[in-house]
């Protein structure tokens, strides 16, 4: 906080009032409702309900589909984060060192940031459509009996590829900024001391890029958990057999399409706890970052 | 030696550019072909002769359940959502952050925590209760119901708080010596200093708002409120139900849906990148 501050009887309240009102109505209240609903069994048709303690949680953990969704979410997030970060890092390192055309590359590698995941999913669906899609034809020509409608592996492949495609640009922007933030003196010294470009990357650049890398990792996990909803809804709808349903997609399917309010709320609360744990981890690391 | 390395670097970068560009390129050029061509020969890699036919049909002819939705209407709704979201967010968050950073007031600490707790949980984990709240308020199928709940996250407030905190302390001291009150200081000193920051956040928030998908799906059952990003999905079924599935039109819709935010980001590249990178801190 500032050392110098204003004092005024009502102005500050007036200034925070719009923000506070919206947050109370559209954030605090719904979040509290989710917790409340997760302990109740509601019959949406009859309009009656009862308090059932942890029954909803118990049935969520008993649900084999939930386990499937949980495992898929972990694998999906790991692969999406890994590949989109790896590709972006390679491109950022090359774009940082390039002598000609840096600004053109920057524009051509960042615009995908603005494409909606749902739109990416729709274009992806076309590329993978039987007979007309170039990617479908390419995969089949390698002898792969590619059938995402039936095969979970094939379906996962399509949503992962599209999700990676969509995320490379954001990661590229952060990595490039991180690389360009490394002081010139350090780079020059490294160049003199270490001739091998590859070794210089592993021993100097990468450790200096670690704070950026960690921040990007957090963004990517959040993206894979929540923002890929549009990709999954337009491409697979969680099919086949819930094999490509992320935890967020399952909350939507069970609650909004399946009308299982208690179960869906219990899943929401579990997700909230997961996010809180992730945030706590993030803060611990951020504290370390400051000591750098 | 040096030259050879750079050629390899260019090849890698070009491969990256192609990887990102090719899907959208294929979608765009395929949309300028007749649907029979796509059905018979697959998606295309070069332009056809039916650009105007496809795009004028998609933009102006009504489709959908009521036969009244066209891309123009949906683009208009997306524009309202994108602008409403970004402008609303900036208006609310600049003043809220001002109060939090520049005022000492009772309960200020608690209000700060309530506001920033919203950063922890994205809308997706509380969609059903949020939907119920909006339904109870009678805001389904309205722009207010579409925009307000999305603003209920303190991302922009957080960015502005960080920014205000980085403004030198001496500015307020000297402004006070010159007799400036809270209103004058905000309008004459803080706002002019924030213009770049506001522009950057505006661009990012416009893109975020335009690209919303899940919330508009829940909020809109009335086709006249469809945004283009979520409307394509519903219209796809109609287009593909025809004798010859109208893939060209579906692809044209996808291109129209991504064009405005991509143009904004490309044209305002420098501000946008600055915004993203600055807000990291």
Residue A14 belongs to a domain: no
Q: Tell me which of B121, B186, B212 to substitute to probe the interface with A (most A C-beta atoms closer than 10 Å).
A: B121
**Highest-scoring range by mean pLDDT, A142-146, B66-70, B231-235, B258-262:** B258-262
Q: Single out the residue of B85, B149, B196, A2 nearest to residue A12, CA to CA.
A: A2
Tell me the average pLDDT of chain A.
88
Residue A48 belongs to a domain: no
Mean pLDDT to the nearest integer, A247-273: 88
To the nearest whole angstrom, how far is the Cα of B153 from the nearest Cα of chain A? 7
Q: pTM (2 decimals)?
A: 0.91
Partner residue opposite A123 with nearest CB, options B124, B254, B277: B254
pLDDT at B65: 64
Specify the number of domains making up chain A: 1
Mean pLDDT to the nearest integer, B161-185: 88
Element (H, E) at A52: none
- Is residue A1's pLDDT more than 60? no
Mean pLDDT to the nearest integer, B33-61: 91
pLDDT at A290: 44
The torsion region of residue B179 among left (phi > 0), alpha (psi -120 to 50) and beta comes to: left
Instruction: Report how many Cβ contacts below 8 Å link chain A to chain B.
Output: 291
pLDDT at B97: 93
Mean pLDDT to the nearest integer, A79-95: 96
pLDDT tens digit string along A174-195? 999 999 988 888 888 888 888 8
Residue A84 belongs to a domain: yes
**What is the spatial distance between Cα B213 and Cα B209, in angstroms, rounded to a whole number?**
9
Instruction: Write out the two tokens for B147.
Output: 């925009």
pLDDT band at B126; cut points 50, 70, 90: confident
**What is the spatial distance between Cα A143 and Cα A166, in angstroms, rounded to a whole number?**
27
Partner residue opposite A111 with nearest CB, options B26, B115, B265: B265
List, in order, residues 6 or more apart from B28 with CB less than 8 Å away. B251, B255
pLDDT at B1: 42
- Kindly determine whether residue A34 and residue B129, on different chains, have CB atoms separated by under 8 Å: yes
Residue A47 belongs to a domain: no
List, in order, residues 6 or more apart from A61 with CB less than 8 Å away. none
Instruction: Write out the two tokens for A245.
Output: 């349903």
3-state secondary structure of A42: strand
- On whether the CB atoms of residues A200 and A182 are closer than 8 A, the answer is no
pLDDT at B128: 84
Spell out which residues of chain B touch residue A28, defining contact as CB-CB under 8 Å. 114, 117-118
- Is residue B262's pLDDT more than 80? yes
> Which chain B residue shows the shortest CA-CA distance from A96?
B9
> How many Cα atoms within 13 Å fall on the side-chain side of residue A95?
30
Mean pLDDT to the nearest integer, B222-243: 83
- How far does chain B reach from its first CA to its final CA, in angstroms? 39
**What is the spatial distance between Cα B31 and Cα B41, in angstroms, rounded to a whole number?**
13
- On whether the CB atoms of residues A271 and A251 are closer than 8 A, the answer is yes
- On whether the CB atoms of residues A84 and A171 are closer than 8 A, the answer is yes
To the nearest whole angstrom, how far is the Cα of A151 from the nearest Cα of chain B? 23
Q: Hey, which residues does A41 pair with through a beta bridge?
A: A50
List, in order, residues 6 or more apart from B165 with CB less than 8 Å away. A1, A2, B101
Partner residue opposite A30 with nearest CB, options B100, B126, B269: B126
**What is the spatial distance between Cα B138 and Cα A115, in angstroms, rounded to a whole number?**
32
- On whether the CB atoms of residues A253 and A113 are closer than 8 A, the answer is no
DSSP for A85-109 reads HHHHHHHHHHHHH-SS-HHHHHHHH
Instruction: Identify the DSSP state of B201.
Output: H
Residue A208 belongs to a domain: yes
Mean pLDDT to the nearest integer, A205-222: 88
Q: A172 or A9: which carries more pLDDT confidence?
A: A172
User: Please, what's the largest Cα pairwise distance for chain A?
Assistant: 77
**What is the spatial distance between Cα A113 and Cα A11, in angstroms, rounded to a whole number?**
39
- How far does chain A reach from its first CA to its final CA, in angstroms? 23
Instruction: Write out the two tokens for B161.
Output: 């708080």
- Kindly determine whether residue A114 and residue B264, on different chains, have CB atoms separated by under 8 Å: yes
- Kindly determine whether residue B117 and residue A28, on different chains, have CB atoms separated by under 8 Å: yes
- On whether the CB atoms of residues B23 and A162 are closer than 8 A, the answer is no
pLDDT at B280: 62
- Is residue B2's pLDDT more than 60? no
Partner residue opposite B152 with nearest CB, options A15, A26, A170: A26
Q: Hey, which residues does A51 pair with through a beta bridge?
A: A40
pLDDT at A292: 41
**What is the spatial distance between Cα B89 and Cα B57, in angstroms, rounded to a whole number?**
35
pLDDT tens digit string along B191-206? 999 998 899 999 999 9
pLDDT at A47: 67
> Which chain A residue shows the shortest CA-CA distance from B92?
A19
Beta strands in chain B (DSSP E): none
Give the domains, in start order, of chain B with CATH numbers: 76-229+259-278 (1.10.3720.10)
Classify burial at A84, counting beta carbons within 10 Å of its beta carbon; exposed 0-12, middle 13-18, buried 19 or more.
buried
Residue A126 belongs to a domain: yes
Tell me the average pLDDT of chain B.
89
Mean pLDDT to the nearest integer, A12-27: 92
For residue A121, what are the domain limits?
64-291
pLDDT band at A46; cut points 50, 70, 90: low
Instruction: Identify the DSSP state of B140.
Output: T
Classify burial at A79, counting beta carbons within 10 Å of its beta carbon; exposed 0-12, middle 13-18, buried 19 or more.
middle
Residue A36 belongs to a domain: no
Beta strands in chain A (DSSP E): 40-43, 48-51
Residue A77 belongs to a domain: yes
**What is the spatial distance between Cα A253 and Cα A250, in angstroms, rounded to a whole number?**
5
**What is the spatial distance between Cα A113 and Cα B179, in angstroms, rounded to a whole number?**
45
pLDDT at A89: 96
pLDDT at B45: 93
- Is residue B3's pLDDT more than 60? no
Which residues 219-278 of A are in CB contact (within 8 Å) with B? 222, 226, 229-230, 233-234, 248, 251-252, 255-256, 261, 264-265, 268, 271-272, 275-276
- Is residue A291's pLDDT more than 60? no
Spell out which residues of chain A touch residue B13, defining contact as CB-CB under 8 Å. 91, 94-95, 98, 105, 109
Could you tell me the CATH number of the domain that includes residue A229? 1.10.3720.10
pLDDT at B61: 84
């Amino acid at each position: 906080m500032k050392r110098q501050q204003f004092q005024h009887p009502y102005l500050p309240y007036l200034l925070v009032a719009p923000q506070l009102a919206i947050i109370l109505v559209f954030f605090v209240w719904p979040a509290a409702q989710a917790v409340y609903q997760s302990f109740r069994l509601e019959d949406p048709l009859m309009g009656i309900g009862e308090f059932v303690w942890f029954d909803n949680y118990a049935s969520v953990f008993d649900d084999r589909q939930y386990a499937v969704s949980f495992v898929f979410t972990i694998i999906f997030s790991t692969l999406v984060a890994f590949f989109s970060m790896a590709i972006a890092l390679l491109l950022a390192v090359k774009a940082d060192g390039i002598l000609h055309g840096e600004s053109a590359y920057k524009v051509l590698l960042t615009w995908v940031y603005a494409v909606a995941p749902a739109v990416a999913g729709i274009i992806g669906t076309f590329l993978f459509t039987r007979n007309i899609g170039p990617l479908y034809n390419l995969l089949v020509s390698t002898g792969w009996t590619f059938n995402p409608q039936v095969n979970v592996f094939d379906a996962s492949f399509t949503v992962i590829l599209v999700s990676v495609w969509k995320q490379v640009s954001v990661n590229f922007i952060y990595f490039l900024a991180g690389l360009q933030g490394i002081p010139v003196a350090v780079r020059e010294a490294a160049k003199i001391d270490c001739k091998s470009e590859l070794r210089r990357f592993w021993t100097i650049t990468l450790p200096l890029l670690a704070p950026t890398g960690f921040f990007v990792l957090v963004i990517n996990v959040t993206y894979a958990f929540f923002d890929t909803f549009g990709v999954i809804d337009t491409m697979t709808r969680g099919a086949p057999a819930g094999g490509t349903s992320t935890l967020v997609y399952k909350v939507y399917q069970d609650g909004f399409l399946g009308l299982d309010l208690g179960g869906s709320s219990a899943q929401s609360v579990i997700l909230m706890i997961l996010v809180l744990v992730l945030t706590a981890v993030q803060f611990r690391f951020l504290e370390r970052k400051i000591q750098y | 030696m040096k030259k050879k390395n750079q050629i390899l670097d260019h090849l890698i970068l070009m491969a990256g550019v192609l990887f990102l560009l090719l899907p959208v390129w294929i979608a765009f050029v395929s949309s300028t072909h007749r649907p029979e061509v796509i059905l018979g020969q697959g998606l295309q890699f070069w332009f056809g002769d039916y650009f105007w036919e496809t795009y004028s049909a998609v933009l102006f002819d009504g489709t959908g359940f009521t036969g009244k939705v066209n891309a123009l209407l949906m683009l208009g709704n997306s524009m309202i959502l994108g602008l409403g979201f970004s402008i609303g967010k900036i208006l609310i968050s600049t003043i809220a952050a001002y109060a939090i950073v520049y005022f000492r007031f009772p309960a200020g600490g608690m209000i700060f925590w309530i506001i920033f707790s919203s950063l922890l949980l994205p809308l997706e984990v509380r969609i059903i209760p949020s939907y119920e709240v909006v339904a109870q308020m009678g805001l389904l199928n309205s722009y207010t119901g579409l925009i307000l709940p999305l603003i209920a996250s303190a991302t922009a407030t957080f960015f502005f708080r960080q920014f205000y905190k980085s403004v030198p302390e001496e500015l307020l001291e000297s402004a006070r010596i010159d007799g400036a009150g809270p209103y004058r200081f905000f309008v004459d000193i803080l706002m002019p200093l924030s213009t770049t920051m506001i522009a950057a956040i505006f661009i990012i928030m416009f893109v975020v708002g335009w690209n919303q998908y899940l919330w508009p799906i829940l909020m809109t059952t009335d086709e006249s409120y469809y945004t283009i990003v979520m409307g394509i999905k519903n219209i796809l079924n109609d287009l593909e139900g025809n004798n010859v599935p109208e893939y060209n039109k579906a692809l044209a819709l996808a291109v129209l849906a991504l064009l405005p935010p991509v143009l904004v980001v490309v044209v305002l590249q420098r501000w946008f990148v600055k915004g993203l990178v600055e807000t990291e801190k």
